[in-house]
Structure 1
């Protein structure tokens, strides 16, 4: 990981999100910024917005809100081992994500659990159910 020299060093938001492994591709990083899912210091950001060390970046990743503080830059995408040098997640953000994950685990699967179209028996059961609701 090579850090830029100088106190005025800065990096584009979209590139920093990709370099720090917060987004899988640079294109996805740009789309999340233009889609309003990324805020810098509480304000909506554009992809070309320059980040500086100490800036607070709030983003939505997979339906989970995350707030991190910029700690450094890198010219190219870093390995997973080097990620902690680029940002630090806020304690409140980490706690909120953990409680959200625990709530999801307790609530169970929220998607469709069926196996496609209902068969003859299931269709007739649905018809009987609808008829009893109408009465």
Structure 2
């Protein structure tokens, strides 16, 4: 465990150690996929993080924004991990504000071309 002000750790190792990811390989894959940003920049897994850096992690469609308050390299307990970061993630929107995706009746078959276009439009993916 490192607490020196000039200490650094790899971003994949740190994010796994503070329990943002379940496995180190998942943290590395997220870095490789561009889902991890340090101070606004996409980073590789070996990018060092320091105290005061802002780390943005995209997990399951939600973005977590945390600030590094302590550098650790090895996995720590949940109570210690909570001390190693400052969570700046905004609260999720209320459920009633989130757009609900239309559900098809079971056994209704494949959607028609018109229904498929409507579904894509609702999801925000225009086909044009």
How high is the TM-score relative to the length of structure 1?
Answer: 0.70
Larger radius of gyration: 1
Which runs of structure 2 are paired with 1:14-93 in the superposition (5 Å)? 14-90=12-88, 93=89
Aligned counterpart, 2:90: 94
Aligned to 1:103: 95
SS at match of 2:90: helix
Q: SS of 1:27's equivalent?
A: helix
Aligned to 2:120: none
Tell me which protein shows more helix as a share of its residues: 1
Instruction: Evaluate the alpha carbon distance shift between residue 23 and residue 5 of structure 1 in structure 2; reply closer, same or farther with a 3 A threshold.
Output: closer
User: Displacement of 1:85 after TM fit?
Assistant: 1.1
Number of residue pairs the alignment of both structures matches:
110
Secondary structure at the residue paired with 1:103?
coil
TM-score (norm 2): 0.73
Contact map agreement 2:3 2:71 (CA 8 A) in 1: no
Deviations 1:49-94 (A, max 9, x none): 000000000110111011110011223211112222111111xx32
